[in-house]
Amino acid sequence: MTGLLAELFAQYHGSLVRMLYRRTGDQDRAEEIAQETFARAVAAPPRNPRPWLFAVALNLVREDARKASRQGRRLVLYKAEQPESAASPEEELDRSERIALVRAALDSLTERDREALLLKAEGFNYDEIAATLGLARGAIGTTLARARKRLVEAYRAGEEKRHVAS
Amino acid sequence: MSHLESGTIHALLDGEIPSAELGPIQAHLAACAECRALLEAERRLQTESDGLIELLELPGDVSQAEGAPRRRWVRGLAWAASLVAAVGIGWAGRGWQQPNPPRRTSADQVAAPLPPPPVVPVAAPGPMPATANLPERSPAGNLARTKTATRRAPAPVVAQKELKPELESRDVITSALPPRADSGVLAREPQVAVAPPPAAGATTSGVSVPLAAERKSPALRLGAFALTAAPPEAIGLPDAVRRLGGSLRLIEGMVPLRLEAQGQTVRVVYATAQGELVLSQRLVDGRVEVTLLAPAGFSPDSLARLRSRVRE
């Protein structure tokens, strides 16, 4: 069991945390949810681990968001993420603003579109995305086409506003 | 064959069309300029979308982050700050309690980069490890610089002993901040009770500053100077809001590192690569006076843009 967990962890932890971070915008939360996901994998070892792990993790994110919503919290937070780089203040500020715009654009998508996009970014193929999200394989191309279009449009709209404001 | 659907085109671009179904699609594309144009447009869209997602990188390597200390209270503060902006100030004053901020550790300093000196020599607690092996741009780079600077101006042993417990807290270290900010702006903060450097051998806040060391090291002089100012006190959001009569300002799109009070002034501190940026606010005749204090190296343009993003 420990060996299996170690193997799963080595293979998927980085990708899972990255996807969760993109989804939540909070590294601590991403890591906590990943830990909880692996803990559940120990309790009930999955046959098809990658879609299983990502599906459980995304369920936990949704559950967490619902809880937050019931408590009246507003979890939307477009934070200025601080890259450790030698970039100039202007470059850093610009990058930080672009990241906030991407987050806002991503949050404007439907849950399904957003998750499909994030899974694709982790290298999932259509079969895996379909298995993770419980969709028909034939719907994945359309879902991704719509998600990409909306993401880019929302981002461009945000960019336009930013330039008008500055 | 009718025109290709965008879903089919994306499946094609993603390499997800089964080979048995490729023939008719390729044949259609060869004959239909409209679909070829659409394919090209969708390809560009896909590239742009992928690039946007990749912008959301994890800050640092995951495996390193696992061992790193958590700074949950900062995230709690960030959440609360966005909440204030979203639902108004009134709610915040009703009993939400911010957890006590953690003592600032060396690891915290690494996580919230501080610029190079000036340094209070006594700020490095405990025995000083060698720093020669630390790479300049390592995550611990700032710490390394601090330690190196400290070695150039060694503090008297007596000062280290007396201050060690206190200097491990964030407050006292932060009191050495003034030189990092734009001194012209800082001078407008009357709450910082700046006293002249103490005379030789005099004790300031329990620090014995020998004359010889003071002469040799401007950093030490500066440190003693800073220690005489009223140290900022870590405060929670409701307290900050209360002190400002219910109207705290924040910089839109940035997450505060911490909140402090220094006299009647509330300081919202943000981390930047150049050092700490401070949005200083105080209540004067019922109005809130706001001053943005930038670290050295921050350009006036960036400062102006940030100023335009200050929101109540």
DSSP track, B144-182: HHHHHHHHHSPPPHHHHHHHHHHHTSHHHHHTT-GGGB-
- Is the same domain home to A7 and A68? yes
Over residues A120-132, the mean pLDDT reads 95
Is the pLDDT at A143 greater than 90? The verdict is yes
| Interchain contact A1–B (C-beta under 8 A) | no
The 3 state secondary structure assigned to B216-280 is HCHHHHHHHHHHCCCCCEECCHHHHHHHCCCCCCEECCCCCCEEEEECCEEEEEEEECCEEEEEE
Residue A64 sits in the same domain as residue A20: yes
Mean pLDDT score, A144-166: 91
The beta-carbon neighbor of A166 closest among B60, B83, B305 is B305
A158, part of any domain: yes
In terms of domains, do A28 and A61 share one?
A: yes
Q: Please tell me the distance from the alpha carbon of residue A92 to that of residue B106, in angstroms, as a whole number.
A: 25
pLDDT for the residue B162: 36
Give me the CATH number covering residue A134.
1.10.10.10
Q: Which residue of B has its CA nearest to A94?
A: B302
Q: Which residue has better confidence, B138 or B302?
A: B302
Of A87, A99, A152, nearest to B56 by CB-CB distance is A99
Contacts of A102 in chain B (CB under 8 A): 52-53, 55-56
> Residue B62's pLDDT is what?
41
Per mean pLDDT, which of A124-138, B50-64, B171-185, B285-299 is the most reliable? A124-138
B307, pLDDT greater than 90: no
pLDDT at B76 over 70: no
- Contact B107/B69 with Cβ under 8 angstroms? yes
- End-to-end CA separation in angstroms for chain A: 56
Classify residue A146: in a domain, yes or no.
Answer: yes
Compare CB distances from A148 to B49, B83, B271 and report the shortest one's residue: B49
**Is the pLDDT assigned to residue B103 strictly greater than 90?**
no
Please identify among residues 15-54 of chain A the ones whose CB lies closer than 8 Å to any CB of chain B: 17-18, 21-22, 25-28, 30-31
Angstroms from A136 CA to nearest CA on chain B: 13
Mean pLDDT, range B281-293, rounded to an integer: 83
pLDDT of residue A100: 92
Tell whether A92 and A55 lie within a shared domain: no
- Bridge-based pairing state of the strands B233-234 and B250-251: unpaired
- The answer for residues whose C-beta is within 8 angstroms of residue B1's C-beta and 6 or more apart is B24, B27, B28
A143 domain residue, yes or no: yes
Instruction: Find the range with the poorest average confidence among A4-8, A78-82, B23-27, B172-176.
Output: B172-176
Candidate from A137-151, B18-32, B196-210, B272-286 with smallest mean pLDDT: B196-210
Q: Which of A17, A85, A145 sits opposite B7 (nearest CB)?
A: A145
> Cα(B179)–Cα(B257) distance, rounded to whole angstroms?
19
- What percent of chain B stands above pLDDT 70? 43
Give me A27's structure tokens.
Answer: 């590294």
pLDDT at B136 over 90: no
Confidence of residue B253 (pLDDT cuts 50, 70, 90): low
Q: Tell whether B191 lies on the interface with A, counting CB pairs under 8 A.
A: no
Question: Nearest Cα to B292, choosing from B146, B127, B208, B182?
Answer: B182
Task: Give percent above pLDDT 90 in chain A.
Answer: 58
A148:B46 CB<8 A: yes
Residue A151, classified by CB atoms within 10 Å of its CB into exposed (0-12), middle (13-18) or buried (19+), is: buried
B 218-237 residues with CB < 8 A to A: none
At a CB cut-off of 8 Å and minimum separation 6, what does B186 contact?
B178, B192, B293
- Tell me which chain B residue has its CA closest to the CA of residue A76: B82
Q: What angle do CA B155, B156, B161 make, to 5 degrees?
A: 95
Q: Are residues A71 and A104 in the same domain?
A: no
Please report the ipTM that was assigned to this predicted complex: 0.86
Task: Read off the pLDDT of each residue in B216-220 and give the average, rounded to a whole number.
Answer: 35
Query: Of the candidates A53, A75, A97, which is a domain's last residue?
Result: A75
- pLDDT beyond 50 at B82: no
**Whether A69 and A97 share a structural domain:** no
Pair A4, A70 in one domain: yes
**pLDDT over threshold 80, residue B191:** no
Within 128-147 of A, beta carbons closer than 8 Å to B belong to 139-147
Domain boundary residue, one of A40, A75, A110: A75
A66 and A33 co-located in one domain: yes
Query: What's the pLDDT score for residue B308?
Result: 76
User: Is A82 inside any structural domain?
Assistant: no
Looking at chain B, the whole-number percentage of residues with pLDDT higher than 90 is 16
- At residue B210 the predicted structure's pLDDT band, cuts being 50, 70 and 90, is very low
- Residue of chain B whose Cα is closest to the Cα of A17: B62
Residue B259 reports pLDDT greater than 50: yes
> What integer pLDDT is reported at residue B127 of this predicted model?
37
In this structure, the answer to whether residues A11 and A57 fall within a common structural domain is yes
Cα A106 from Cα A126, distance rounded (Å): 20
> Which of A21, A47, A75 finishes a domain?
A75
pLDDT at B111 exceeding the cut of 50: no
Q: What would the two tokens of residue B186 be?
A: 């800082």
Number of A–B residue contacts, CB under 8 Å: 149
**A109 and A53 belong to one structural domain:** no
Q: Which residues contact B13 (CB under 8 A, 6 or more apart)?
A: B39, B42, B43, B46
Here the tokens at position A62 are 């949704």
Please indicate if any CB of chain A lies within 8 Å of the CB of B139.
yes
> Is pLDDT of A77 > 70?
no
A80, part of any domain = no
**Are A149 and A92 in the same domain?**
yes
Residue B114 vs residue A141, higher pLDDT:
A141
Any idea which residue has 């603003």 for tokens? A97
| Chain B 78-117, residues with CB within 8 Å of chain A CB atoms | 78-79, 82-83, 86-87, 113
Query: Residue A70 — pLDDT band, cuts 50, 70, 90?
Result: low
Task: Give chain B positions within 8 Å (CB) of A74.
Answer: 82-83, 86-87
Region A64-79 average pLDDT = 61
Residues A4, A48, single domain; the answer is yes
| pLDDT for res A124 | 96
Given this model, what pLDDT does residue A87 score? Answer: 64
Q: Is A164 on the interface with B (CB under 8 A)?
A: no
pLDDT of amino acid A3: 72
B218 versus A79: the higher-pLDDT residue is A79
Are B308 and B301 spatial neighbours (Cβ–Cβ below 8 Å)?
A: no
Q: Domain span at residue A27?
A: 1-75
Distance, CA of A129 to CA of B200 (rounded, Å): 72
Q: Does the pLDDT value for residue B229 go beyond 80?
A: no
Task: Tell me which of B290 and A4 has the higher pLDDT.
Answer: B290
Number of domains in chain A: 2
